[in-house]
Amino acid sequence: MCITCGCNGDGHHLHGQEPHTHHHEHTARDGRVITLEQDILQKNQLLAERNRGFFEARGITALNLVSSPGSGKTTLLERTLADLHPDTPCFVIEGDQQTSCDADRIRATGVPVVQINTGKGCHLDAEMVNASVKHLKPTQDALLFIENVGNLVCPAMFDLGESARVIIISVTEGDDKPLKYPDMFHSADICLINKIDLLPYVNFHVDKMIEYARQVSHIDTFIQVSATTGQGMDEWYSWLKEKAGAAVSLE
């Protein structure tokens, strides 16, 4: 059981936390002393910093892709890899509770991929990424895409050592998502608004969603994309190039 968020790894969720705790003692009305323990994610944060140091030393740009289920992030990633690979070295870590469906889709693009199945767990952590990177062996100046488990709650708490956190929201979701999940938006560096080809058919107001996001986060880059039609993808690739420098080829 993950004591941080309550998810049950069921043998597959490799937290390995042994959490450092703060002890807070409170005296109840009947005189009993109640000790509350708060996991402060110390081990995860230390390992995340090790991951970050590894990435920085090798010029690897690691991107933590977060979203709710069904946002289209795997399709977006497939399109991105198809357009950038093989001119740009790309590697992928896929996080899902079960199956290798997404990893199989990524593998079909020719990009090296490692699948993490979290069982009943609801997010990736720094230890999982660390173990996956050792197996994946991303090359110098590569792009490393980490597709997190579809969840807008728990992944917000876990630093993976990423260079940037990319939140993806689709127009088939509510435009009030930032207000409902402020912690995730607050932790993100950029927001991709996906499936914009469906805007004529859904009740989603892009301007309102951006306004809400700015109320709860520091995000200043919002890119409207359609992984299906390719609309807006060049702007996304330009952001990647700026983030990664010369490592990204747009030829």
Identify the burial level of 201 via C-beta atoms within 10 angstroms of its C-beta, where 0-12 means exposed, 13-18 middle and 19 or more buried.
Answer: exposed
Residue ranges covered by each domain of the chain = 42-245
Residue 154 confidence (pLDDT) above 50: yes
| Amino acid in position 109 | T
pLDDT digits (tens, 9 = 90+) for 167-184: 999 999 999 999 999 999
% of residues, the chain, pLDDT over 90: 75
CA distance 191 to 223: 6
- Per-residue pLDDT, 121: 79
Residue 18 CA to residue 166 CA, distance in Å, equals: 29
Which residue, 223, 241, 239, is CA-closest to 231? 223
Query: What CATH architecture does domain 42-245 belong to?
Result: 3-Layer(aba) Sandwich (3.40)
pLDDT over 70, % of the chain: 82
Please tell me the predicted confidence (pLDDT) of residue 32: 56
Band of the pLDDT at 39, cuts 50, 70, 90?
low
H helix intervals, 62-205: 73-84, 101-107, 126-136, 177-180, 182-187
Residue 29: predicted pLDDT: 55
Beta bridge mates, 33: 27
Residue with tokens 């289920």: 69
Burial call 108-119: b when 16+ CB within 10 Å, e when fewer: ebebbbbbbbbe
Decide if 180 contacts 144 (C-beta within 8 A): no
Question: How much is the mean pLDDT over the chain?
Answer: 87
Whether pLDDT at 19 is above 60: no
Residue 108 reports pLDDT greater than 50: yes
Q: Is the pLDDT of residue 89 over 90?
A: yes
Over 60: is that where the pLDDT of 100 sits?
yes
Exposed/middle/buried for 241, CB within 10 Å: 0-12, 13-18, 19+? middle
Residue 231: which residues within 8 A CB-CB, separation 6 or more?
Answer: 196, 197, 224, 225
Peptide bond into 86 cis (omega under 30): yes
